[in-house]
Every structure is written in structure tokens, then in C-alpha cells.
């Protein structure tokens, strides 16, 4: 197993952890505290990390996401964060890799422009379909149909990759 130090992990991942936390936590002080919490947890569990089970990136992302989830729960803030993997056969470890993000980008580029934008706005920016319809100057019905078409196409394009 590659020797990984806490210091190197901090240098390599601090900005990613901070960016992720800031996207979910508005209060700057809370966000900074949570960044520290994440790296304390990383340091505390580094000896248990097994590279065969997950990449460093996925491992740190999971710690970060769980830290944010715990914070939101403790503070009774309701926010949609990803739930567990949809099926026992399809675990997060099987598709939550950086390569999958590149493959998703390639698949999105094969969609029609409107379809790609709807997916990006819905899942990337978090807008509901009603708001996406306003933003794209389309009817709600048209957005719903294109959203469904895009999901079906992506399922086909991504099926061998996830």
C-alpha cells in the first residue's frame, strides 16, 4: 500500500473539501470548523484506510459528505444530500470515482443541448424542473419530457460504466 501522510492529504484535498462544504454550508465559520473536523477524522482513521476498497478521493469525499450530513442533522437543517446507493449490487464504491465523472461528461455531450442543460441545472445546480422551465423559457411539460428522455439516454450511455 502506498504511504500516504495526513499532511499530503491536507495539501492535496483541502481546497476540494472546503469547496464541497461551502456549497452546502452558508455560514463561513461553521464551514471552516467542518473543514477542520474532516481532516481530524482523516488523520484519526488514516491507519484503517484500505486503498483496495476505495480511492483516497472517494474516501475523503465520503468523510466530508457524512460530516456535512451530521452537521445539518444536528442543526435541524433540512437539505437534500445524496442518499445511499440505489441497489445493493450497485454500491457507491463501484461508480463514485473520478473517472466516472469524465464518462458522465462524455455521455452528457451526446445529448441534445436542451437535454444536457436540463440535467446540469437539475443535478449540478440543484434547480427544480419548474424553475428550469422558467430559466430556459420552455413550458414545464416540455422540460419534464426532455428530462425523462435525457435520463433514458444517459442510462443507455452509462450502463457499461456504472
Interface with other proteins (CB under 8 A): 16-17, 19-20, 23-24, 57-58, 60-61, 64-65, 80-83, 85-86, 90, 92, 95-96, 98, 100-102, 104-106, 108-109, 116-117, 119-121, 123-125, 135-137, 151, 154-155, 158, 162
- Beta carbon of residue 56, minimum distance to other proteins (angstroms, whole number): 11
Handedness of CA 50, 53, 57, 63 (dihedral sign): negative
Alpha-carbon gap, residue 123 to 140, rounded angstroms: 17
Q: Minimal distance in Å, beta carbon 101 to other proteins?
A: 4
Tell the burial category of 143 from Cβ atoms under 10 Å away from its Cβ (0-12, 13-18, 19+): buried
Min dist CB 83 to other proteins, Å, is: 7
Q: Looking at beta carbons only, is 29 or 80 nearer to other proteins?
A: 80
Instruction: Kindly state the smallest distance separating residue 103's Cβ from other proteins, in Å.
Output: 10
- Least Cα distance to 136 among 114, 153, 104 occurs for 114
Q: Which among 56, 57, 70 has a CA at the least distance from the CA of 24?
A: 70
Amino acid at each position: 500500500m502506498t504511504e500516504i501522510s495526513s499532511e499530503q492529504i491536507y495539501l492535496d484535498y483541502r481546497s476540494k473539501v472546503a469547496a464541497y462544504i461551502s456549497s452546502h454550508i452558508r455560514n463561513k465559520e461553521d464551514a471552516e470548523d467542518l473543514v477542520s473536523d474532516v481532516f481530524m477524522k482523516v488523520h484519526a482513521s488514516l491507519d484503517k484506510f484500505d486503498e483496495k476498497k476505495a480511492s483516497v478521493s472517494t474516501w475523503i469525499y465520503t468523510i466530508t459528505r457524512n460530516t456535512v450530513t451530521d452537521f445539518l442533522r444536528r442543526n435541524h437543517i433540512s437539505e437534500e444530500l445524496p442518499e445511499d446507493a440505489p441497489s445493493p449490487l450497485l454500491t457507491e464504491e463501484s461508480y463514485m470515482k473520478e473517472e466516472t465523472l469524465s464518462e458522465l461528461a462524455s455521455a452528457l455531450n451526446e445529448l441534445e443541448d436542451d437535454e444536457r442543460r436540463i440535467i446540469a441545472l437539475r443535478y449540478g445546480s440543484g434547480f427544480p424542473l419548474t424553475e428550469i422551465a422558467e430559466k430556459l423559457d420552455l413550458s414545464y411539460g416540455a422540460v419534464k419530457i426532455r428530462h425523462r428522455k435525457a435520463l433514458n439516454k444517459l442510462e443507455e450511455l452509462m450502463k457499461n460504466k456504472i
